[in-house]
Structure 1
Amino acid sequence: MSRNPRQRKARGRSRVGERFEVEVGPVAHGGHCVVRVPAGDPDDPTATRVVFTRHTLPGERVVVEITEGTEGDRFWRGDAVEVLEPSKDRVTPPCPFSGPDRCGGCDFQHVSLPRQRGLKLDVVREQLVRLARMSPEDPLLAGLRVEAVPGDEQGLRWRTRGRFVDLGDGRRGMRKFRSTEVVEVDDCLIESVEPVSHTVRGLAFEVAPGGFWQVHPGAPEVLVDSVLEMLAPQAGESVLDLYAGVGLFGRFLAQEVGTGARLVAVEGDRTAAGLAKRNLAGAAKVRVSAGDVGTVLSREYDEPFDLVVLDPPREGARRAVVEQVVDRAPRAVAYVACDPAALARDVALFAERGYALTALRAFDLFPMTHHVECVALLEKVGA
């Protein structure tokens, strides 16, 4: 397989291109499964190396080809280039550009939709057990499922925003996984063919061209519904909307708490913050601040808030922001997370400060990929 992986310092002889027949282990965060292959250590013939392997399913028997890795690396990466014993959940990918050494945009096109959601559920649970130190038997995890969301066509035609490589003459392509190589793609099957709607619950939002907006058509409404249900806002309560974007959550929370209540929105992107001011105009006692969330909170709005909604980027809120949030003593925090590992790390940070995870939902907003969106409710223990 031709590869041009991201460059890093070599730690011994390259193992790229070597093939092994293996039985596939569990799914791991990132769109791959765990397999183990002989490490080739002459001092320890029993030593094995973990290979994070794409395009396979737990329990399958496959031939894995190493795509990244040297003798000194802690783990290698690989691709299942031959399936010897397929899973009952394996399907023919609907997209001809999906598979080993092809477009890197989708992780799970070879997996049935119900099983895709099951794999994502396994990852969410595993991250919360490992990083947030939750019990596997916790009722929140036992009852969790990854919910389908209206707006796609059997997992296809949902992505309202994407990045393509311009190949000239009207042609376009997408890069291979962890590579600069480009695969020409004449029709991306997860790309939406419908115009983007910025209307939610009958209200229109101003969004900058190319600005952030949820890429699945059903995402804004289902996320707003979940946040409102979990927070159960009451008239007169104060609201702190962090990573507010153009004011999606703040606008509906403002409706619930009333025009006399205080609402503060903080957003790092100045264009989005300016649009949030317009989208939130007249909704409540609104203040919108543009700037890094942690920096803004360290300098301003140092007073109690009843409710907080967090919708951080993929790396999560992290300790500095979590500590600023709990210092304002909210009765409830709604956390919208696009990465289960970041969510789990932040849940652990909230737990250190006396806030427990009391509700959790997961949504399949990115079918055919490994990504999953969660909405979590954190409440003060004993409040």
Structure 2
Amino acid sequence: MVCKENSLAYNVGDQLEIQIKKIVPNGLGMGFAEKLTVFVPLAVRGDTVAVEIRQITGRTAFASILKVLEPAPTRTDAVCEYFGSCGGCDFQQMEYDEQLAAKAGIIEDCLKRIGHIKLEEGIEVLASKERTGYRLRTQFHIDGREHAVGFFRRQSHEVIDIERCPVLTDDMNRSLSEIRTELDRYADSVEVTHIEAAAVSDRRSFYAETLFEPVDELITEAAGERFAFNARSFFQANIAMLDSLVDTVVAGESGKRAVDFYCGAGLFSVPLARRFETVIGIESNSDSVGFAKRNRELAGLENLELFEGRVREYFKRSDIQPADLVLVDPPRNGVKKNVLGKIAGLCRERFVYVSCNPSTLARDIAILLTKGFEIETIRGLDLFPQTHHVETVVKLRRVT
């Protein structure tokens, strides 16, 4: 172990002993050496670990664990044989309550550090009803040269051959087996191929540019509604938390007009149309819009209007009217500042922001607070057990 009491010239390859003080955004453990902040993946708050520096910039280093010298009380055994090598899960080493606490801490850290938002109380993260076997969709990677199908190795594009993934549903693991039986067709592939896959109740849907089979429609239920989607369109992955997510977003909401930006296949637009006289859903992805129309039909709704196009294009319309409720569920990179300003200007009363990225969420909520809104509630939902990812729903109301 390298001792640095008399020298501050840290280098890549140096070995240190540190204690993990907290888990920070991207799921990294944070610890300290003399005048050095060290970030470590696959750690647990309270661990004492021997680490090796892999990257260093100024007084910040990224390191990997060589040995857990003293495990935290909340460290546990991973449920997957590929954990640590596979790039998918990074929280399996934590007891589940500790995962939830870490995710709450990540949300709070982003809101305070990025958004400069003062929180009156701690944030609750709603536990997933299933901690494994919850994921109904994923992206598999195939390397025909190595006859491998599975996921990328951590921090690489090497495909790890996976027999079974514990976070996937049984239907999805059967999909993995089906792809494996077809692996010979990729034996001459020069590059790695990826396949979007989804499965519900023994029905499968696959999509890849190298496949010519039809992409089957799948149907699942959420919040008393039926929703169609397929592997090519976006849909929330945690089948066990769909009801909780929809309820968190739409409960208590009603009025004359609601607008749902980035509406996808209509997971929120459909239940909102049961509560509002008119709902408009805006989505740029044509596959998702197609399924939103299909889901409107399944629900028998006539008060849900769908606009296919970018948000900027929607604001070029001449018939835009203010809305009682505005909902946004944007991609991970959030909403561009000028677009968010236009969306905020459309909202008369209530604003709901749904996000899978606490960093861009904090940035955008800070902007909304300058547009005459105040925060009513913040709630996390664990849609991604065994990983550092977390969904957050922030409800705001207009005060000026």
Counterpart check, 1:265 vs 2:300: no
2:292 maps to which residue?
276
1:53 pairs, out of 40, 49, 70, with: 40
1:23-69 CA-partner distances (Å, limit 9, x unpaired): 2222110011112345xxxxxxxxx33332111122221011223x2
Preserved CA contact (<8 Å) 2:148 2:160: no
Q: How does 1:171-186 map to 2 (within 5 A)?
A: 171-186=148-163
2:132 pairs, out of 143, 153, 156, with: 156
2:126 maps to which residue?
147
1:44 maps to which residue?
none
| Closer, same or farther: CA 209–61 of 1 in aligned 2, 3 Å | closer
1:285 maps to which residue?
303
2:115 pairs, out of 132, 135, 146, with: 132
| Closer, same or farther: CA 309–342 of 1 in aligned 2, 3 Å | same
Higher strand share: 2
2:258 pairs, out of 214, 225, 239, with: 239
| Closer, same or farther: CA 165–329 of 1 in aligned 2, 3 Å | closer
Amino acid in the other structure paired with 1:185: I
Q: How much does 1:167 deviate?
A: 3.6
Measured on the aligned residues, the alpha-carbon RMSD in Å equals: 2.2
1:22 maps to which residue?
18
Mean Cα deviation higher: 346-355 or 124-133: 124-133
Preserved CA contact (<8 Å) 2:148 2:159: no
Matched residues in 2 for 1:296 and 1:233: separation? 23
| Closer, same or farther: CA 202–262 of 1 in aligned 2, 3 Å | closer
TM-score by length of 1: 0.83
Counterpart check, 1:213 vs 2:235: yes
1:369 maps to which residue?
387
Counterpart check, 1:36 vs 2:32: yes
Mean Cα deviation higher: 190-199 or 355-364: 190-199
| Closer, same or farther: CA 82–240 of 1 in aligned 2, 3 Å | same
1:92-117 CA-partner distances (Å, limit 9, x unpaired): 11112112xx1111111110001000
1:95 maps to which residue?
80
Counterpart check, 1:327 vs 2:323: no
Preserved CA contact (<8 Å) 1:208 1:272: no
Q: What SS is found at the alignment partner of 1:156?
A: coil
Amino acid in the other structure paired with 2:254: P
1:133-162 CA-partner distances (Å, limit 9, x unpaired): 2224x1xx33x3111132x2xx21112112
Structure 1's unaligned 5+ residue stretches are: 1-12, 39-47
1:43 maps to which residue?
none
Matched residues in 2 for 1:81 and 1:353: separation? 48
1:53-88 CA-partner distances (Å, limit 9, x unpaired): 111122221011223x25x45633222220111100
Counterpart check, 1:252 vs 2:271: yes
Q: What SS is found at the alignment partner of 1:280?
A: helix
Amino acid in the other structure paired with 1:81: L
Q: How much does 1:238 deviate?
A: 0.7
| Closer, same or farther: CA 298–357 of 1 in aligned 2, 3 Å | farther
Q: What SS is found at the alignment partner of 1:186?
A: coil
Amino acid in the other structure paired with 2:257: S
Matched residues in 2 for 1:347 and 1:301: separation? 27
Matched residues in 2 for 1:89 and 1:280: separation? 45
1:296-339 CA-partner distances (Å, limit 9, x unpaired): 22545532111111111111123123211221133101111111
1:172-218 CA-partner distances (Å, limit 9, x unpaired): 23222222233322211111114425222332222133321111012
Query: What is the percent sequence identity of the aligned residues?
Result: 29
TM-score by length of 2: 0.80
Amino acid in the other structure paired with 1:85: E
**Matched residue count:** 344
Preserved CA contact (<8 Å) 1:171 1:186: no
Matched residues in 2 for 1:103 and 1:131: separation? 30
Matched residues in 2 for 1:26 and 1:253: separation? 39
Q: What SS is found at the alignment partner of 2:368?
A: helix
Q: How much does 1:221 deviate?
A: 1.6
| Closer, same or farther: CA 204–19 of 1 in aligned 2, 3 Å | same
2:63 pairs, out of 78, 97, 101, with: 78
Matched residues in 1 for 2:60 and 2:396: separation? 35
1:108 maps to which residue?
91
Matched residues in 1 for 2:40 and 2:280: separation? 44
2:364 pairs, out of 340, 343, 346, with: 346
| Closer, same or farther: CA 359–198 of 1 in aligned 2, 3 Å | same
Mean Cα deviation higher: 55-64 or 80-89: 55-64
1:358 pairs, out of 343, 364, 376, with: 376
Preserved CA contact (<8 Å) 1:317 1:346: yes
